[in-house]
Amino acid sequence: MNKIHKVKTFIIEKTIKLDCGKTISNFPLAYETYGTLNKKKDNAILAFHALSGDQFVTDINPITNKSGWWSYLVGPNKAVDTNKFFVICANVIGGCMGSYGPSTVDSKTKKNIGTDFPVITINDMVNVQYNLLDFFKIDQLYSVMGGSMGGMQVLQFVANFPNKTKTALPIACTASHSAQNIALNELGRQAIMADANWKKGDYLNNENSPDKGLSVARMAAHITYLSKKGLQEKFGRKLQKREDLNFSFDADFQIESYLRHQGSAFVDRFDANSYLYITRAMDYFDLVKEYNGNLSDAFKSSKVKFFIISFTSDWLYPTSENKEIVIALNAAGADVGFIEIESDKGHDSFLLEVPEFLKSVKNFLEANY
């Protein structure tokens, strides 16, 4: 992380009590902004990133030199038009792009915090990011938006701060992490912890990182972001730069080679401990339980205008789970719209060029501004 100076951070001095009972204070929150905050300060959108995302929503990510994760959606004249809106995104706590997390160096011990970092929740992430409003002196956001874990943060944000945003766009998400979601995350965590280099999380202070474990975690997760049909159409049984099967355990198939690439590219930009902490936070997310079994109560006092979007081929956070949120909002008499977008691109649809999706977001944001 030698390019970490390209990261903007601000220090949150006040004490924040985490769900685990511990408190944190004087810690950094890394953020990025796009567009300009207008004089009335009514054009700000807080975007929340997903598990493997960061604050670099669009343009070229200065750390990875790749396009930001929401480049299709956010930018000048795009669906979230940065000529019009001021987009803020922060790296979640527990992350590894400059915000307080397991890879932060402890000022006293001069060592990485590692697994001494407290276990955090989506609620903690949101409560920390709420400080961005004070930082930018924004009284009310125009919108909060995010997909997947970003969508969970949207729901939590509205539940915690019902008057602090005018609109909300939870995309391809859930109000309560399912057993299948938890199982898939556990698979990733076990892959990391089974890597001999993980060393109970103390690897950053050593020479070798658990790259193999993190890579396998990413490969497994990546499959869950795609759909069977999408995979079949893109890769089928196509072979990787060879005429015939090799009768070995090399990457004979293109899909194998693709997944290996996804895995190895990920370890260059992501910290294994962050992966453990963030997946844990997702697993602990249960807004239904937080409101004693009645999700509607989470949105009872809210005047926020919601627009919920799901994708037909998303089996990780399927339409049925997104509709649970719609149902809860309706039961609370909240203002909610919903659309299911046709796409073969699986859960990843929210990050990709899916014209109907981009159009929906644009239509919603422009019509209500």
Partner 1 sequence: MKKEFQIISELIESNKRVLDVGCGDGTLMKYLFENKNIDTRGLEISKHNVQKCISKGLSVIEGNAEKDLEQFPDSSFDYVILSQTLQAFYNPEKVIDNLLRVSSKAIVTIPNFGYWKVRLHLFFKGTMPVTTHLPNEWYNTPNIHMCTIKDFVNFSKQKKFNLFKSLALHGKKVSEINNNNLNVKNFFSELGIFLIEK
Residues that bind partner 1 (CB under 8 A): 305, 307, 326-327, 330-331, 333, 335-342, 356, 359-360, 363-364, 366-368
- For 171, phi then psi, to 5°, come to -120, 135
β-pairing verdict for 23-24 and 16-17? antiparallel
Per annotation, catalytic residue among 71, 99, 103, 148 = 148
Per annotation, catalytic residue among 314, 344, 348, 349 = 314
Nearer to partner 1, 299 or 364 (CB): 364
Q: How far is the CB of 169 from partner 1 (least distance, A)?
A: 11
Two tokens, residue 101: 């997390």
Concatenating the DSSP letter of every residue in 220-288 gives HHHHHHS-HHHHHHHTTT-BSS-SS--SSSS--BHHHHHHHHHHHHHHTT--HHHHHHHHHHHHH-BHH
Per annotation, catalytic residue among 347, 348, 349, 360 = 347
Q: How far is the CB of 159 from partner 1 (least distance, A)?
A: 19
Q: How far is the CB of 367 from partner 1 (least distance, A)?
A: 4
Integer Cα distance of 91 and 74 in angstroms: 17
Q: How far is the CB of 254 from partner 1 (least distance, A)?
A: 33
Contact between 90 and 153 under an 8 Å Cβ cutoff? The reply is no
β-pairing verdict for 44-48 and 86-90? parallel
Nearer to partner 1, 179 or 367 (CB): 367
Nearer to partner 1, 216 or 326 (CB): 326
Nearer to partner 1, 126 or 169 (CB): 169
Q: How far is the CB of 337 from partner 1 (least distance, A)?
A: 5
**Largest separation between any pair of C-alpha atoms in the chain:** 66
Query: Which amino acid belongs to residue 93?
Result: I
Contact between 129 and 268 under an 8 Å Cβ cutoff? The reply is no
The DSSP symbol for 176 reads B
Nearer to partner 1, 193 or 339 (CB): 339
Nearer to partner 1, 19 or 340 (CB): 340
Contact between 144 and 165 under an 8 Å Cβ cutoff? The reply is yes
Instruction: Pick the closest to residue 220 from 189, 253, 247 (CA basis).
Output: 189
Q: Which residues of 272-287 are buried (b: 16+ CB within 10 A; e: fewer)?
A: bbbbbbbbbbbbbbbb
Integer Cα distance of 315 and 190 in angstroms: 22
**Alpha carbon of 326 to those of 150, 183, 349: distances in Å?**
17, 25, 20
Q: How far is the CB of 362 from partner 1 (least distance, A)?
A: 8
Q: Is 148 one of the catalytic residues? A: yes
Q: Is 314 one of the catalytic residues? A: yes
- How far, rounded to the nearest angstrom, does the alpha carbon of residue 32 sit from its chain's CA centroid? 15
Q: Is 176 one of the catalytic residues? A: no
Q: What is the 3-state secondary structure (H, E, C) of 126-155?
A: HHHHCHHHHHCCCCCEEEEEEECHHHHHHH
Q: How far is the CB of 328 from partner 1 (least distance, A)?
A: 9
Contact between 262 and 219 under an 8 Å Cβ cutoff? The reply is yes
Nearer to partner 1, 139 or 342 (CB): 342
Catalytic residues, by residue number, are 148, 314, 347
